[in-house]
Amino acid sequence: MHKYYVIILSVNSPIKIIIIMQVLLMLISCQQQDSSTKAGASAIDGNRQSEGAGLRVLTTIAPLYSYVKNITGDSASVQNLLPYGVGPHEYSLSPEDIQKINDAQIIITNGIKLEAWLGKVLDPENKMDGAHPDSKGRVIVNSSRGIEVINGDPHVWLSPKNAIVQVSNILDGLVRVDPANSEIYINNAARYTERLKTLHNEIETEIAAWPKKEFVTFHSAFLYFARDYGLKQVAVIQQRPEENPSPQRIANVIKTIRSLGIKAIFSEPQISPKIVKAIANDLNIQVYNLDTLESGALYPEWYEVRMRANLEVLKMVLSRPVMKSPGIHISPEAAPLGK
């Protein structure tokens, strides 16, 4: 804090003018030194905040972000790679993504070839076991390790039973890389696992009472969910994300819908399902949105919120008679992506 003096002079001579100018220069110099000191202190504080952010963790998709945030809390700096509203199947890395990958100390992946594009920047010798760093010191965790894979389908996170396994694999990696915070991670993971078990029990109890078990989807994403909760995915319009359905596949789907008396198709909120609407209008059935959770909002409870929203949508179709009126029905619970 500076003291400023008011100098009253009668400016009648060059000497007095010089004195006034010197005083003003002194005041300006003090102000500049003060600003420089504050800027330096601010930069130090910023560095301290960065250093205090903890372990640098990078996740690839929104469900993994939810898992990790529930395990680490505020003890790690967690970022997600894929932007909001962007799916992982045909993703291309940007320069900003590569910088995030290079800055991370531990990278949490889904595995099962979902993030094949990571191979362009990661060490090909990396074992992705959460234990062995690559040539740049990064540890890569394959969160699906130990899960029984169905037909190479990567959508394991859509079953809370699998999510529990993923959380365990992630915890192992975090504890190995950051043992100083292992107690925090272990305790948080235990609490989160109990919440996932509660979610699993809710889904299991609810679906057990439904009279209908067969369903048709646009995207082949719900095999694990169907397997673990007694449902049957009887037809899929688009077998692979990168391939448009052939006329023969569409004909087969229509045949299945008619033969089983299916009254609804489950589409996705992040796509424009013109073919789905065309089939629904032709067969006089409805369309509902199921979220594949490939993308969404980044907050700890997001995974549980979206899984319960999906359960409510399925319940509307499989637990009671469907509305008889034709056309498209987008349920309010599932329509907004990531809310």
Q: How confident is the model at residue 128 (pLDDT cuts 50, 70, 90)?
A: low
What is the distance in angstroms between the CA of the first residue and the CA of the last residue of the chain? 49
Q: What is the pLDDT of residue 321?
A: 56
pLDDT of 312 higher than 50? yes
Using CA atoms, how far apart are residues 65 and 59, in angstroms rounded to an integer? 6
- Per DSSP, the three-state class of 176 is helix
Q: Which amino acid is at 177?
A: V
* CB 153, CB 217: distance < 8 Å: no
pLDDT of 175 higher than 80? yes
| Stated length of the chain | 339
* CB 137, CB 114: distance < 8 Å: no
Model pLDDT for residues 7-48, shown as the tens digit of each residue? 444 445 444 443 344 444 444 343 444 433 333 333 323 222
Element (H, E) at 142: strand 139-142
Using CA atoms, how far apart are residues 30 and 25, in angstroms rounded to an integer? 9
Model pLDDT for residues 198-240, shown as the tens digit of each residue? 999 999 999 999 999 999 999 889 999 999 999 999 999 988 7
